[in-house]
Amino acid sequence: MSSSHPLHSLYTDHGAWLRNWLRAKLGNAWDAADLAHDTYVRILQAGTRPAAEDSRRYLVQVANGLMIDLFRRRRIEAAYLEALSVLPEAQAPSEESRALAVEALLELDRLLHKLPAKARQAFLLCKLDGLSYRDIAAQLGVSVSSVEKYIAAALQACCLALYQP
């Protein structure tokens, strides 16, 4: 990045500060360095540049979003690995299969978090817990027809994610 690039001054003025701030939040320098890098990449991709007086607030906002993504990813990976731990070693998937499964789970998580909370909850209660629509309706305090609509919306979102580029 040349010194004339608008991101250059943002990086030189605040890069060390951002890494230190992230290190304090994350507890280690490696994750802090990775997220600081990803923060600047995200800003570069977005093509935005905050006003000088808003630089640190903007960096924190972007970095916080990336931290949430990191924690969510780790939580999903840990849950997946815990589920795999009960399998006999001969049935354990390869590293490549694990990586693909984690990516698919992360994509599904992103998709479900775009849904309204009740639609997401209804879908998970149905598909993961195997509850009937009537039981889901009772648990959510809504009608069975609302549950039908929630499940339909979730399934539609899944289908669109599968079949649209």
Q: What is the band of 87 on the pLDDT scale with cuts at 50, 70, 90?
A: confident
Q: Is the pLDDT of residue 1 over 60?
A: no
Q: Is the pLDDT of residue 4 over 80?
A: no
Structure-block tokens of residue 25: 């939040």
User: What is the pTM (predicted TM-score) of this model?
Assistant: 0.71
What letter does residue 51 receive in the DSSP assignment?
-
Contact assessment for residue 110 and residue 135, using Cβ atoms and an 8 Å cutoff = no
How far apart CA 70 and CA 39 sit, in angstroms, is 12
Q: Is the pLDDT of residue 160 over 70?
A: yes
Question: What is the tens place of the pLDDT at every residue in 94-153?
Answer: 889 999 999 988 988 889 999 999 999 999 999 999 999 999 999 999 999 999 999 999
Average pLDDT, the chain: 91
Compute the CA torsion angle 115, 121, 123, 127 (nearest 10 deg).
140
Contact assessment for residue 163 and residue 139, using Cβ atoms and an 8 Å cutoff = no
Structure-block tokens of residue 70: 């990191």
Mean pLDDT of 59-63: 96
Structure confidence at residue 100 (pLDDT): 92
